[in-house]
Amino acid sequence: MIKFTEEHEWVDTETFAVGITDYAASELGDIVFIDLPEAGTAVTAGEEIVGIDSAKAVSGVNAPFDGEVIEVNEALADAPESVTPDTAMETWFVKVQPTDPAAAAALMDEDAYRSMIG
């Protein structure tokens, strides 16, 4: 099941893959650089774990919950432009093992997210 954060990240609650929403990708424009963390990095909810440079802004992906980065999508370092509004919901940046798996379930569902972005 996919859940969402107020900062426009999505989380697959089965694999704990984390990415940005199509909305976020459209707001960023062309992505030119992605700074990924190392596997094994401890993360804290709300803190930036991935840096994104785009044609319009410098942004980031925040940790949706406390945990540890267990896998990194290394292909994005060489092809940051592959994250577009058409592919964002299928492109994960990192997988984060939550300290408390219930934290992922507490995120917004799709209806709540769609209401938030209006």
| Predicted pLDDT of residue 101 | 86
Mean pLDDT computed over 78-99: 97
| Tens digit of each residue's pLDDT (9 = 90 or more) over 40-88 | 999 999 999 999 999 888 999 999 999 999 999 999 999 999 999 999 9
> What does residue 5 show for φ and ψ, rounded to 5 degrees?
-110, 165
Tokens 């990924």 map to which residue?
A: 36
Q: Spell out the domain ranges in the chain.
A: 2-117
Contact 89, 21 (CB under 8 A): yes
Mean pLDDT computed over 4-12: 97
Please state, in angstroms and as integers, the Cα–Cα distance from residue 49 to each residue in 21, 33, 83, following that order: 16, 14, 17
What contacts 99, CB < 8 A, 6 or more positions away?
A: 65, 66, 67, 68
Which fold does the domain 2-117 belong to in CATH?
A: OB fold (Dihydrolipoamide Acetyltransferase, E2P) (2.40.50)
Mean pLDDT computed over 1-11: 97
